[in-house]
Amino acid sequence: MKTWIEISREALVYNLSQFRRLVSDGVKIMGVIKANAYGHGLTEVAEIISEKVDWLGVDSFAEALKLRQAAVKKPILVLGYTELKDLKEAVKNNISLTVYNKETILKLGKIPIHNPNLNPKIHIKIETGTSRQGVLENEFFDFIKFVKQFPSIEIQGLSTHYANIEDTTDSSFAMEQLATFSRAAEILKKEGVTPLRHTACSAATILFPETRFEMIRLGISMYGLWSSKETKAVAKNKNLELDLKPALTWKTIVAQIKNLPAGTPVGYGLSEHTSRDSKIAILPVGYYDGYDRKLGNVGNVLIRGKRCKVLGRVCMNMIIVDVTDLEKVELEDEVVLLGRQGREEITAEDLAGKIGTINYEVVTRINPYILRHIV
């Protein structure tokens, strides 16, 4: 408990309500909780949102099974790859699978069905321009014919993912992808299949109503974070009223306080020296916990509502911060690494900017062993 995460139930529910207001009543919402719910805690977030969403999206069979073991009854879709050895168990636990390989179809088609409700349920992913998972458009018709050889397999959904909808204000490539997806959906329709169509991530949901179809996949913005500054800018230009509340706060405590004279080296490599007679605080958190090493010498934390600079390199399990300007600081004072304290706030975007990455990575890389508390 030297470092912990607080997840705001109110913020998650509020963000979901914002998107429910944005999309029509007929559009289902998938809450994407892959990668430990973007660092927020898989089972913790599932407990909060299960009654507020229609589906849950995870990356792996292991994540899906963990939810089933936690008595989560909501429909679950594995968005990533499921190994052939796990297919039978996935079907047994009524877990829907994203597929794009004939080998997966062949294995699923041979699974004995003892309960008509526990048949293989698949969402076919079509490759439209991201060059990741998915059936290529010129192979799609052949793939559908192959799937239809196995009557036990239910084509439950059709999906794709946009390559360039978050990081640009130019939507032309995304619209090309949408056209490719629509052609695939027409092929399925002609084959007598009307699946649940879903293409929209958070950014697409916000900016392009035509991408929503029957379901949206709500990821980063469910947690109160914007997909990118471009997404936020375009939304503002379109006069879209969307208020997002970050759900995660990361905290630690002060473990030691000491005084150092001016010119004293601080931390590994002597990368920084005190510029004045200083008071420092040692915090029991480091890069093992997910506090990025690149935040050394440039990061800030919040103590008693004020920003305190990180001094020297981030260590594996500790950081050192300058508390000279605080009127008062005491052992085991609460420290905010990410989130709000008083009138000050350190955002995931702040940290991402300092280490040259995106807000997704900042929160997702927080060590999953750190306890998450719902507040």
345: phi then psi, degrees, rounded to nearest 5: -145, 135
**What is the bridge-based pairing of β-strands 96-99 and 76-78?**
parallel
Count of residues making up the chain:
375
What residues contact residue 222 under an 8 Å CB cut-off, 6+ apart?
12, 15, 16, 19, 31, 32, 49, 202
* Euclidean distance between CA atoms 158 and 201, whole angstroms: 14
- Considering 34, 107, 121, 125, which one is annotated as catalytic? 34
Q: In sequence order, what DSSP letters do the residues of 294-318 get, joined into one string?
A: GGTTT-EEEETTEEEEEES---SS-
131: phi then psi, degrees, rounded to nearest 5: 60, 40
CA dihedral 324, 328, 329, 335 (to 10 degrees): -90
CB atoms under 10 Å from CB of 241, counted, come to 9
Q: In the annotation, is 268 catalytic?
A: yes
Q: In the annotation, is 360 catalytic?
A: no
* Euclidean distance between CA atoms 146 and 137, whole angstroms: 15
- Considering 189, 238, 258, 268, which one is annotated as catalytic? 268
- Write out the catalytic residue numbers: 34, 268
